[in-house]
Amino acid sequence: MWARDDYPTWSLPALEAAKCVALQGDDAFERVHLLLFEAFFSKGINIGTREEVIEVVRGAGVEMNRFLKDYEAGTARSKVMQEYEEALTTYQVNSVPTVIFDGNQRVIGATPLEEYLKILAALGVS
């Protein structure tokens, strides 16, 4: 799927961007969150580079001046790092996506829908 030679080695720029947008409200966050996932998983956009992340956010209809001010100032970095530490130490999550089901069964990475359906069926969820 990745046709470029610059596969992202981290997602901190995207995570920070999402947290900065969240300061503009839940609706703005939801739009950007979805667009960032789509950018990486469907469109091959490098969410590890600030420039490409900014372009994704630009397409979400947020207040760009406010976003850029928060983003450039690093306003959200401490919150992102705090949540990363919590995910790692509390839930042993170090990859996105990671889905944790009842009984601590995990699905890590891009996984076919059928795999999720098998797990849900085994848990008695329809």
Question: Thinking of the domain 12-91, which architecture would CATH place it in?
Answer: Orthogonal Bundle (1.10)
86-90: Cβ within 8 A, 24+ apart: none
Q: Could you read off the pLDDT of 12-33 as tens digits, one per residue?
A: 999 999 999 999 999 999 999 9
Ramachandran class of 92: left when φ > 0, alpha when ψ lies in -120 to 50, beta otherwise? left
Q: Could you read off the pLDDT of 59-99 as tens digits, one per residue?
A: 999 999 999 999 999 999 999 999 999 999 998 888 878 99
Q: What is the pTM of this model?
A: 0.80
Domain boundaries, the chain: 12-91, 95-126
What's the rounded Cα separation, in Å, for the pair 4 and 27?
31
Q: Could you read off the pLDDT of 38-52 as tens digits, one per residue?
A: 999 899 999 999 999
What are 102's two structure tokens?
């009842």
Q: Could you read off the pLDDT of 101-120 as tens digits, one per residue?
A: 886 788 998 789 999 999 88
